[in-house]
Amino acid sequence: MALFLLLLLTLMIPSSSFAQWPPSPGYWPSSRFRSMSFYQGYRNLWGYTHQFVDQNALTIWLDSTSGSGFKSVKPFRSGYFGASIKVQPATRGQHPGFHDEVDIEFLGTTFGKPYTLQTNVYIRGSGDGRIIGREMKFHLWFDPTQNFHHYAILWTPKEIIFLVDDVPIRSYPRKSDAIFPMRPMWVYGSIWDASSWATEDGKYKADYRYQPFVARYTNFKAAGCSAYSPARCRPVSASPFRSGRLTRRQYRAMRWVQSHHMVYNYCMDPKRDHSLTPECWH
C-alpha cells in the first residue's frame, strides 16, 4: 500500500502568468502538526546516491542513471501527511503491486505551459491488470518553481482531503468500502522518469541534456494513527470540527480552486467507463 506525497517530474518550463489567489480557507491545518526532520520520519528507499539532507531539507534528483525515493519509517492507517516542496523549471517520476494508493504528483509539460498537479486514488487496482485511476488535475495559482509550498494529504476513515498551502483542493469521501482505501499505507516520495505516459500522455520524453532534474523537500509532517496505534486512536482533522468536516469557508475555497484551476476530472471524462467508478454516478 502506498501514500505518495510526490513527486512525478518531467522537462517543462512554467508559464509566467498566474491568476489571483483563492479565498482564504479560514483554517490552516498544517499549523496543528509539528514539523520533523527527514530522518525523524523517513528513510532512503532507492537511489541513495541521488539524494542528500542538508539543514533539515532533502534534495533528490533525476539524471540518466537514476532517480531517487524515500519511505516513511512506519505505516499509517490514517493521518495528515505533508511537506513543503520546491521544484525546478526542468523536472519529473509508480509503485507496482496490488495495493491502495493516494497520490499527489507533479506532471511534466512543454514549453510555456504550467506544471500540472495531479491527485489520484487507487483502490486495490495498481498492478492487477485493471488499473482504475481517479485523477483530478490542477494548474496551480502560483509558480511552484519559485518558492516552497506545502502539499498535504489528510486521510481519515471517512474522507481523503488534498491540500495546497492549507487550501483544500479536492475531497474524496468514503461512499462505500469497495472504493475507499482502508488498509495501512506507507508514505513515499520520489522523483523518476515517467515521461512515457505523463507528459501529454507520453507525447514528450524527458530531455537529459538538461539533467539533473532536482526537487527539494522540507517542513516534513506526518501525524496520525500508525498501523501500530491502539484502536482508540482518533483520526486527525483538517478543520476545527472534531468530526473532520470542512468549514463553509474551506468548502468555498475548494469550490473556487476547482472552478478556476481544475483542468481534468475523471468523473467528467466521457471516454471513461463509469461503471467502474460508482462514486461518479451522483
User: Which amino acids are annotated catalytic?
Assistant: 101, 105
Give the CB-side neighbour count of residue 215, counting CA atoms within 13 A. 29
- Residue 73 CB coordination number (10 Å): 13
Q: Is 178 exposed, middle or buried (0-12, 13-18, 19+ CB in 10 A)?
A: exposed
- Residues 206 and 54 sit within 8 Å (Cβ to Cβ): no
**What is the rounded CA–CA span in Å between residue 226 and residue 105?**
23
| First-to-final CA distance of the chain | 28
- Residue 31 CB coordination number (10 Å): 8
Q: Specify the residue for cell string 539533473.
A: 212
Residue 95, C-beta contacts closer than 8 angstroms, at least 6 positions apart: 2, 4, 101, 126, 188
Concatenated DSSP letters for 217-251?
EEEEEEEEEETTS-TTPPPP-SSSSTT-PPPHHHH
**What is the rounded CA–CA span in Å between residue 59 and residue 193?**
17
